[in-house]
């Protein structure tokens, strides 16, 4: 019989509680422990749950008298910081809290985090009661996020992150620099506010159909800066899906290609137009002649190709110099262009030679009429 003041539990009840605790200890993601630092500087773990093996690669029994095995596996770059924090906690009797690396004998380098509360014992030892857990996955994710954040901030390409409803949730510094919109003015709004109006609705419908079907779209698009200036960009949009497969965000990355476009336009101009007069050159004339022939055949109309050169032009160059000769050519080109109809073409094919392409002619007699009208005006 137990007295009314006897608080001891029956043995079967104690066994049940111990079994329950042991099962709890085994399934903890980390381990519970007591760690004692003796006055002579030595240390040990009077108590530790089985999870210590997953964290440090040793059993509770192996460090019950001496904690050396644990300190031997601390990462060399973190060892001094951890030991210094233990000593600081012992001196001030403040909570110990650290995150550091362990060179686990079978798992490799892992990140762990511990927190414990110290108490001073009568012999001068300090005893900590705490919990330590494996935070490797969390640390990897944290470092990945830090890297992504660094890339996001330092990228020279503009980046927009929108939510599933395609409203802006974040933009990077390059976005602000390229578009001229400050961050606070763009957050919560749709990227459609950047639209230049150059693309028809069908363009955007096709773009979103591609994103919804394949999760990605890439192409060139014209957008408008805050200043109103229209610019060209190379844009890629990716749909980000959560574990449930539903779109959680869209990420748009773009590069301002206005200068490239301008350069391409200049190259195209040089390739197809005469540098001096600005008239189409032989290459562009060939293209227009091919199109005009096809058009004339379809509509059963005539076209005419007229060759024109300037008499005694060589004498102008010889007598007055090439600078004056160039001015004569430019003046002539302007004169011819001013009297042509909108659908006619005049090209300079070299020196003082010009070719005039007349289209939309109904008869041979009409060719003569048009030429007489135009050159009378010239």
| This prediction's pTM | 0.49
Q: What's residue 2's pLDDT?
A: 46
pLDDT in tens, the chain (378 residues): 444 455 565 666 656 666 666 666 665 668 899 999 999 999 999 999 888 999 999 999 999 999 999 999 999 999 999 999 999 999 999 999 999 999 999 999 999 999 999 999 999 999 999 999 988 888 888 887 777 778 788 888 999 999 999 999 999 999 999 999 999 999 999 999 999 999 999 999 999 999 999 999 999 999 999 999 999 999 999 999 888 889 999 999 999 998 888 777 777 777 889 889 989 999 888 989 999 898 888 888 888 898 888 888 888 888 888 898 899 999 989 888 888 888 888 999 888 899 999 888 877 877 777 777 766 655
Domains of the chain: 11-137 (3.30.450.20), 155-258 (3.30.450.20), 273-377 (3.30.70.270)
Dihedral angle computed from the Cα positions of residues 149, 133, 243 and 154, in that order, rounded to the nearest 10 degrees: 10
Locate 228 and state its tokens.
């109103």
Dihedral angle computed from the Cα positions of residues 286, 289, 295 and 297, in that order, rounded to the nearest 10 degrees: -110
DSSP SS3 for 258: helix
Q: What is the CA radius of gyration of the chain?
A: 41
């Amino acid at each position: 019989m137990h007295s009314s003041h006897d608080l001891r539990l029956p043995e079967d009840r104690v066994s049940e509680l111990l079994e329950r605790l042991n099962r709890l200890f085994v399934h903890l993601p980390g381990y519970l422990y007591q760690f004692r630092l003796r006055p002579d500087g030595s240390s040990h773990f009077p108590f530790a749950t089985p999870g210590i093996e997953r964290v440090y690669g040793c059993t509770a029994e192996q460090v019950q008298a001496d904690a050396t095995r644990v300190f031997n596996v601390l990462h060399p770059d973190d060892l001094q910081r951890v030991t210094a924090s233990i000593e600081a906690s012992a001196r001030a009797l403040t909570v110990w809290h650290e995150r550091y690396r362990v060179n686990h004998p079978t798992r490799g380098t892992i990140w762990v985090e511990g927190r414990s509360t110290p108490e001073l014992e009568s012999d001068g030892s300090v005893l900590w009661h705490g919990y330590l857990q494996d935070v490797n996955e969390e640390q990897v994710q944290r470092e990945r996020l830090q890297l992504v954040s660094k890339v996001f901030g330092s990228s020279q390409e503009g980046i927009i992150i929108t939510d599933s409803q395609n409203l802006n949730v974040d933009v990077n510094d390059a976005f602000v620099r390229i578009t001229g919109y400050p961050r606070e003015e763009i957050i919560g709004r749709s990227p459609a506010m950047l639209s230049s109006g150059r693309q028809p609705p069908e363009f955007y419908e096709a773009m979103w159909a591609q994103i919804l079907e394949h999760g990605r779209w890439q192409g060139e698009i014209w957008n408008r800066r805050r200043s109103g200036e229209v610019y060209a960009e190379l844009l890629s949009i990716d749909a980000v899906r959560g574990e449930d497969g539903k779109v959680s965000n869209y990420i748009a990355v773009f590069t301002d290609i206005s200068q490239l476009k301008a350069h391409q336009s200049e190259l195209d101009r040089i390739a197809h137009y005469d540098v001096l007069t600005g008239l189409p050159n032989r290459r562009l004339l060939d293209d227009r002649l091919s199109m005009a022939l096809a058009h004339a055949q379809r509509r059963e109309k005539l076209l005419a190709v007229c060759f024109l050169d300037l008499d005694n032009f060589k004498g102008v160059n010889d007598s007055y110099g090439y600078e004056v000769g160039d001015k004569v050519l430019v003046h002539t080109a302007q004169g011819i262009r001013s009297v042509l109809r909108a659908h006619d073409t005049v090209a300079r094919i070299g020196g003082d030679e010009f070719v005039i392409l007349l289209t939309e002619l109904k008869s041979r007699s009409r060719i003569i009429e048009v030429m007489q009208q135009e050159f009378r005006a010239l």
